[in-house]
Amino acid sequence: MSVLVVNSGSSSVKFELVDPDSGDSIAAGLVEQIGELQGRVVLDYRGETIEKRREIADHAVGLAVAFEILAGAGVELGADVTAVGHRVVHGGDVFHEPTLIDEKVLQQISDLSSLAPLHNPPNVLGIEVARRQLPNVPHVAVFDTAFFHSLPAAASTYAIDREIAKKHHIRRYGFHGTSHQYVSLRAAEFLGREDLNQIVLHLGNGASASAIESGIPIDTSMGLTPLEGLVMGTRCGDIDPGVVMHLRRSADMDVDAIDELLNRRSGLAGLTGVNDFRELGKRIDDGDADAVLAYEVYIHRLRKYIGAYMLALGRLDAIIFTAGVGENAAGVRADALANLRGFGIEIDPERNMMRSKEARVVSTEGSAVTVLVIPTNEELAIARAAQKLARTTTGV
């Protein structure tokens, strides 16, 4: 039996059929260019890639085409799927754990859209469509913010008027929680230590860092929204809030224009015009000064968080790199941890250059802090959470 994992975005939907017991991916696909005349649905199933192009007017049409392709490949969703797990970006202060979706829960997720206007609305849309397509199986929401819900108050509280903060639910929520939780558990298993103090660096187009003490997060880089923290592909990360007022007054930019600037036209893309690390590397090799500066800004911010979290933890046992950049960019790992031998951190150049889909050590034998590369698997984590809740609440 399997769990269907759905990650619905504004113009695309990722989906994967997962065996939560074995951890195997049965089929994985992508619906993209929703709302366009030439939408695209791609499915990878048993080593074969199936692609269809047609007009995809909305998410309902896109998922219908995806289910049609799955059925054509021999996957009987109605018979094979025991639960559907939905990634939901923001649970606010309402949802702290995987939750069985009903009409009330769906409305609550929608109501939280003010905290995540770019993410929760398409999440809700994907849930609605999937519930219509598969009405007879439990649907479970797994929240990106849940892992960080129990952050210490000192780490989660913004120093603004407390009544305003309370009224408008303003606090540091943190994101990528499913990935940070999965990877930190894998690191503890890999090293055979439950008392592991670790820094997890989830580095992709979106990027975040966390400090985790014996399995419990004590700090993370993202805040009320995913905008805070590290420099990212298109997001600025930490920035003086005065920049927002300055742009409003001097550039006459309204809230939506500033939101667009900081979320979609900043970060590496804002500094160089590209947010793909492969292209950035090519430009650096060609001597592009903007690309060199962007990379230096990226590494500088990353090292600041590593240093801060070393101090917050007091004792550091491991540093974990994960996600697209973290898993594949050896140069980023080397530069992020360069010249830290005095802190017990030493990368092994040969190990660091090796590629593998498995968890691996990239530090030297003599490094007091173990540096690991651990591939994240948010889909598997969501599938297992959905299966567990479905079995508990419905006996499936």
Q: How confident is the model at residue 395 (pLDDT cuts 50, 70, 90)?
A: low
Give pTM, 2 decimals: 0.93
DSSP letters, 146-175, are: GGGTT--HHHH--SS-HHHHHHTT-S---S
Instruction: Evaluate if residue 50 carries a pLDDT over 60.
Output: yes
Q: How many CB atoms lie within 10 A of CB 276?
A: 15
Based on C-alpha coordinates, what's the Rg of the chain? 21
295 phi and psi, to 5 degrees?
-65, -40
Instruction: Give me the percent of the chain exceeding a pLDDT of 70.
Output: 99
| Domain assignments of the chain as residue spans, ordered by start | 2-143, 193-378
Mean pLDDT of the chain: 92
Output the six-digit token pair for 365: 């034998």
Residue 144 among the catalytic residues: yes
The one catalytic residue among 44, 93, 102, 144: 144
Instruction: Give me the percent of the chain exceeding a pLDDT of 90.
Output: 72
Condensed to tens digits (0 to 9), the pLDDT of residues 234-244 reads 999 999 999 99
CATH architecture of 193-378: 2-Layer Sandwich (3.30)
Output the six-digit token pair for 148: 């960080």
Q: How confident is the model at residue 46 (pLDDT cuts 50, 70, 90)?
A: confident
User: Are 287 and 265 a contacting pair, CB within 8 Å?
Assistant: no
Torsion of CA 126, 106, 152, 322, to 10 degrees: -10
The CATH code of the domain at 2-143 is: 3.30.420.40
